[in-house]
Amino acid sequence: MNPVKIKSPATIANLVCGFDVLGLALNEPQDLMEVTLSEKPGIRIQHNDIYNLPTVPEQNVAGVALLELMQELDNAVGFDIIIEKHIKPGSGLGSSAASAAGVVVAANHLLGNIFSKEDLVRFAMAGEKLASGVKHADNISPCIYGGITLIRSIFPLDIIALPAPPMYVSVVHPQIEVKTSDAREILRKEVLLKDAIKQWGNIAGLVAGFMQNDYGLISRSLEDVIIEPVRSMLIPGFDEVKKRSMDAGALGGGIAGSGPSIFMLCKEENAAKKIEAIMKDIYNNMALAYHTYVTTINNKGITISQEL
């Protein structure tokens, strides 16, 4: 049977104030995957990358997501999967989501698109639970839907695709690892009511800013008083990156997912490139290896083709 080839984008979860409820898809980087429907039952996974990830389906985020999908099939079928990761695991850029979402979108295509996007999110969330211990959809949803998404509810799933004005995204990935499970473990279990009220206002303001193409409101709303003050301590150089980026004209930004990547949103490309130079300068001075990207919002999500 002919394989289907896909590109599965990196994503940024939380968008500063929207912990577990907001996320956006990026045009760079993207994972490459090839999935083939087989008459031979079972899942066979091959990795063509340097990360030495598990190939046993029950231990692989793509495998677990696909097993979730296969439970709802009447006929016993199998899948052969080749994964070439360009989104480094542990980067905070939705590496596990790209694998889990990518494989279920590809499988659904091969099966004749019998499942809805919400179904695919539900299947892929099983991969996120394997990766982080929690079923969350803030990376999965934009990966599948494209653009910016709001997850109003997980149980039951209620996903809203949000419009947004054009924006550029500057990202720096310091070459350290912050595991999502560890980053969740350090969070406070209770928050002050005054902090919760401020956070709710910022989330509502950010959504309204996206919908109204209001860059000023977007900028004012990119504030996190609950998660970022704790998690930022795990990321060397975070405070300097954020301050200098804001001084250079960024709309705002913060930790990408659970980190260690840091992102900044900009209205203009030249500002985004200026901020990338600032990010490079900071980590060069720290003698800490890093990768940077200047990219835009990916409004398509996962793309399918026979040839990449």
What string of DSSP letters covers 94-130?
Answer: -HHHHHHHHHHHHHHHHTTS-S-HHHHHHHHHHHHHH
Do 19 and 143 reside in the same domain of the chain? yes
pLDDT at 196: 96
Structure tokens at 168: 């550029």
CB atoms within 10 A of CB 14: 25
Do 179 and 84 reside in the same domain of the chain? no
Do 209 and 156 reside in the same domain of the chain? no
Do 102 and 44 reside in the same domain of the chain? yes
| φ, ψ for residue 83, nearest 5 deg | -120, 130
What is the percent of the chain with per-residue pLDDT over 70, rounded to a whole number? 97
pLDDT at 158: 97
pLDDT at 183: 67
128 is catalytic: yes
Residue 105 to residue 1: CA distance in whole angstroms: 17
What is the percent of the chain with per-residue pLDDT over 90, rounded to a whole number? 89
Q: Which of 58, 106, 110, 64 is nearest to 82 (CA)?
A: 106
| Whether the bond into 57 is cis, omega within 30 of 0 | no
Q: What is the pTM of this model?
A: 0.94
CB 295 within 8 A of CB 173: no
pLDDT at 307: 47
Residue 221 to residue 18: CA distance in whole angstroms: 10
Do 243 and 150 reside in the same domain of the chain? no
pLDDT at 75: 77
Mean pLDDT of 229-256: 96
Q: What CATH number does the domain containing 65 carry?
A: 3.30.230.10
Residue 273 to residue 169: CA distance in whole angstroms: 9
- Greatest Cα-to-Cα distance within the chain, rounded to the nearest angstrom: 58
Do 144 and 277 reside in the same domain of the chain? no
Do 108 and 243 reside in the same domain of the chain? no
Do 16 and 153 reside in the same domain of the chain? yes
Q: Report which secondary-structure segment, H or E, holds 11.
A: strand 4-13
Do 24 and 118 reside in the same domain of the chain? yes
Do 33 and 159 reside in the same domain of the chain? yes
pLDDT at 305: 84
pLDDT confidence bin for 76, thresholds 50/70/90: confident
Mean pLDDT of 65-93: 94
Residue 210 to residue 228: CA distance in whole angstroms: 21
Mean pLDDT of 153-168: 96
Mean pLDDT of 251-270: 96
pLDDT at 237: 96
pLDDT at 133: 86
Q: Which residues, in sequence order, are bridge partners of residue 45?
A: 81
Q: How far is CA 159 from CA 44, 56, 140, 151, 247, in A?
A: 31, 31, 11, 5, 34
Q: What CATH number does the domain containing 273 carry?
A: 3.30.70.890
Residue 5 to residue 102: CA distance in whole angstroms: 10
Residue 98 to residue 12: CA distance in whole angstroms: 11
Question: What is the number of domains present in the chain?
Answer: 2
Do 145 and 175 reside in the same domain of the chain? no
| φ, ψ for residue 260, nearest 5 deg | -85, 0
pLDDT confidence bin for 249, thresholds 50/70/90: very high
Residue 63 to residue 74: CA distance in whole angstroms: 19
- The catalytic residue among 11, 149, 180, 295 is 180
Q: How far is CA 155 from CA 13, 51, 60, 132, in A?
A: 19, 33, 24, 18
Pairing of strands 22-38, 148-153: antiparallel
For the chain, what is the mean pLDDT? 94
**Model pLDDT for residues 208-226, shown as the tens digit of each residue:** 999 999 999 999 999 999 9
| φ, ψ for residue 35, nearest 5 deg | -130, 130
Confidence check: pLDDT of 308 > 60: no
- The catalytic residue among 128, 149, 276, 295 is 128
Do 67 and 52 reside in the same domain of the chain? yes
pLDDT at 194: 97
pLDDT at 180: 67
pLDDT at 171: 98
CB atoms within 10 A of CB 131: 23
Q: Could you list the residue range(s) of the whole structural domain that residue 182 is in?
A: 168-296
